[in-house]
Chains A and B, each alone.
Chain A
Amino acid sequence: MTNPNNATITTVHRAEFTASDALKIPTLRILQDDGSLYDGATAPELDKDTALKMYDTMVFIRVLDERMLAAQRQGRISFYMQCLGEEATTVGSAAALSDQDMIMAQYREQGALRYRGFTLEQFMNQLFSNEKDLGKGRQMPVHYGSNAINYMTISSPLGTQIPQASGYAYAQKLRGLDALTLCYFGEGAASEGDFHAGLNMAAVHKAPVLFFCRNNGYAISTPANEQFVGDGIACRAVGYGMKAIRVDGADILAVYQATKMARDYALKHNEPVLLESMAYRLGAHSSSDDPSGYRSKEEEALWRKNDPIARFKAWLLKQGWLDEAADNAKTEQLRADILDALKVAEKVAKPGIEHLISDVYAEPIPALQQQLDELKAHIRKYPDAYPITAGRLD
């Protein structure tokens, strides 16, 4: 073995540190606020239909977020998480994928989910934990997932999807599929051990996975400068021997272009790539959180100006692809559609009692069946105490 340490051996004869800031990663920006491109920047190849689908998805998510946060405040759903300020990050990246690519998200990526084709009704059914929810009403609101559109069901524990993405992508490679896995996570989740494990596994085993870090500045109340000291998250990828690229997360053209490039590279070379999208979590962490306890209104106002939708809209208008009046009318219609879907979903029944024990295993084990039988007998005795299931035990 000529190089047992698997590291560069460049000899020096004077003790000298490598500086902790030796690696500085630039941020790709293509689109300016007024819809024009930066000098030297080239817009990615994007046809009108795709561009408008991206825009419509961003608007859809913004309106859905507004409406459902209000619904949470009204007590109609128990919990909600907005992605305000990060619409370009998730939509731009999802648009650069093939529908066969697996998406493993953290929880704030409804933009990617919508782009994939998750329907308004499916959103509502999950949010209301009703019997039409694909997850059978088992998880808190926003824990979406759908096998049909290759979007892995969300798990609340942070970072757990990162090594899973490495494994999933490795399996895609072994199967010879022309598809990879994109894994979203936040800059906070990148502190979890699973992040380091996942990156290293993917690099060592050459798994075609795109690690997509949404660096939005906050992990609940903890600002990024209390989360890590190095230059963001992207520099860590280099430490694990993989390529990295950093983009402006409010610039959908930059996100799209970088993701497209990363996808092409990862599939061609069977290597992971890390992308870091710099954005700002403009909303609260969740409906249970109140940012006034840890950041100022002034700070928020500053970032509110950096609106990814307005920026993309300006570009679309310049292209002559968007009619403002028609767009406004469409958004009004969308508001009405969302409210209608909400009213329908909240009246749909909750899952039946059999779903208390289904899916723990492929088939309920005898002990569980017995527990269900005993529970049913108990509910028959006290029907008033269990109104969701008492009327439909058989």
Chain B
Amino acid sequence: MAKMNMLQAINNALDLAMAKDDGVVCFGEDVGHFGGVFRATSKLQEKYGKARCFNTPLTEQGIAGFANGMAAQGMKPVAEIQFADYIFPAFDQIVNETAKFRYRSGNEFNVGGLVFRTPYGGGIAGGHYHSQSPEAYFAHTPGLKIVVPRDPYQAKGLLLASIACPDPVIFFEPKKLYRASVGEVPEDYYELPIGKAEVLQQGKDVTVLAWGAQMEIVQKAVEMAAEQGVSCEVIDLRSILPWDADTVAASVKKTGRLVINHEAPLTGGFAGEIAATIQKMCFLHLESPIERVCGLDTPYPLALEKEYVADHLKTFEAIMRSVNF
């Protein structure tokens, strides 16, 4: 075990993946010599050469299309989109190409092994172009897998699983935690399962569900609730697509209540999908309406970021509304 922050854990995962399989290639804007604007690909060009870790021209649609082509040939491109806010020029390549490659060809061709890594989320005074959480747009696209880690250990294991995955994966990295989140990480290769939620804390009164950087926010809320005598069960969803409805439903059947928290705006956010599924699976077990604590239905602001975000206080209030319904 070694102490790593999330960037080091991601860098370590990429290093191991490149060492293990020479089909793994890392590229994106500023990814080469500089090692990426956040330094996630630091030293990889030095170690594996310019052919396997390189700067691309500044074109996200080009990066995504290039990655599709490489993956179709059978390699494992790990393409970085510098900020998730800048993924939209690549939307066509990802939604119409990446996601449908296998299906449209009757499995003649596929882009399994392709991973898009991209930093997402707020809390860094980034305004609306350096703070967005666009996972729900992609969750509406069958054929993609979507993964969001919460800490360095998860980031490494889930990234290695994403690279090994036979389907294309979008790997959203909570940039707020890149250096802030530090933990023990095994130095060897390991994978964590895609599509499996993790119950972080057992509880009996209410289930609190989130992912990525919001895990530490809900943890704070859960501690406040505990002081009020409320026992929360805490779940990290980890994968948005496919998402682990069984684990969430089993928990809600036990607690009878569900609070979902995400950074992205409320309307059309992934919490809506979860709520609809869980109310069907757990209808007779629910003691209160499912609560959603999300960003407001506005672009991500700058000066009023504190007011906008789905913070621990709003989450605590939702937990209390849920148990006092």
- The reply to whether chain A is a binding partner of chain B is yes
B297→A371 contact, CB < 8 A: yes
A193 CB contacts on chain B under 8 angstroms: 59, 61-62, 89
A140→B125 contact, CB < 8 A: yes
B304→A351 contact, CB < 8 A: yes
Q: Mark B189-226, 1 if CB is under 8 A from A, else 0.
A: 00000000000000000000000000000000000000
A367→B297 contact, CB < 8 A: yes
B129→A157 contact, CB < 8 A: yes
A350 CB contacts on chain B under 8 angstroms: 303-304
Size category of the A interface is 35 or more
CA distance A194 to B86 in the complex (A): 13
B298→A194 contact, CB < 8 A: no
Q: Which of B12-20, B150-158, B306-314 contacts A (4 or more CB under 8 A)?
A: B306-314
Q: Mark A74-113, 1 if CB is under 8 A from B, else 0.
A: 0000110000000000000000000000000000000000
What's the nearest-Cβ distance from chain B to residue A214, in Å?
14
A353→B85 contact, CB < 8 A: no
A371 CB contacts on chain B under 8 angstroms: 266, 296-297
B130→A140 contact, CB < 8 A: yes
B267 at interface, CB cutoff 8 A: yes
A240 at interface, CB cutoff 8 A: no
CA distance A221 to B301 in the complex (A): 28
Q: Mark A369-394, 1 if CB is under 8 A from B, else 0.
A: 00110010011011001101100000
Q: How many residues of B contact A (CB 8 A)?
A: 42
What's the nearest-Cβ distance from chain B to residue A213, in Å?
13
A261 at interface, CB cutoff 8 A: no
Q: Which residue of B lies closest to A371 (CB)?
A: B296
Determine which residue in B57, B89, B128, B314 has the highest number of CB atoms from chain A within 10 A of its CB, and name it. Answer: B57
B37→A220 contact, CB < 8 A: yes
A222→B307 contact, CB < 8 A: no
A351→B32 contact, CB < 8 A: no
B246 CB contacts on chain A under 8 angstroms: none
A294→B304 contact, CB < 8 A: no
A146 at interface, CB cutoff 8 A: no
A385→B34 contact, CB < 8 A: no
A129→B129 contact, CB < 8 A: no
A337 CB contacts on chain B under 8 angstroms: none
Q: Mark A138-159, 1 if CB is under 8 A from B, else 0.
A: 1110010000000000011110
A356 at interface, CB cutoff 8 A: yes
Question: Given A382-B313, A385-B313: A138 and B34 within 8 A (CB)?
Answer: no
What's the nearest-Cβ distance from chain A to residue B299, in Å?
7
Which residues of B in the span 153-194 have a Cβ within 8 Å of any Cβ on A?
Answer: none
A143 CB contacts on chain B under 8 angstroms: 127
Question: Given A156-B130, A353-B304: A360 and B298 within 8 A (CB)?
Answer: yes
CA distance A269 to B89 in the complex (A): 32
B283 at interface, CB cutoff 8 A: no
B279 at interface, CB cutoff 8 A: no
B33 at interface, CB cutoff 8 A: yes
B49 at interface, CB cutoff 8 A: no
B250 CB contacts on chain A under 8 angstroms: none
Determine which residue in B88, B297, B298 has the highest number of CB atoms from chain A within 10 A of its CB, and name it. Answer: B298
A293 at interface, CB cutoff 8 A: yes
Question: Given A228-B57, A367-B267: A138 and B302 within 8 A (CB)?
Answer: yes
A189 CB contacts on chain B under 8 angstroms: 58
Which residues of B in the span 60-85 have a Cβ within 8 Å of any Cβ on A?
Answer: 60-62, 85
B59→A378 contact, CB < 8 A: no
Q: Which residue of B lies closest to A349 (CB)?
A: B303
Q: Identify the B interface with A (CB < 8 A).
A: 29-30, 32-35, 37, 54-55, 57-62, 85-86, 88-89, 125-130, 266-267, 296-299, 301-304, 306-308, 311, 313-314, 317
7 tightest Cβ-Cβ pairs between the two chains A and B: A137-B303, A156-B129, A221-B34, A191-B57, A188-B58, A129-B303, A78-B125
Q: What are 15 inter-chain pairs, A to B, with CB distance below 8 A?
A: A78-B125, A79-B125, A129-B302, A136-B303, A138-B301, A140-B127, A156-B85, A158-B86, A222-B32, A227-B58, A357-B296, A375-B296, A378-B313, A378-B314, A378-B317
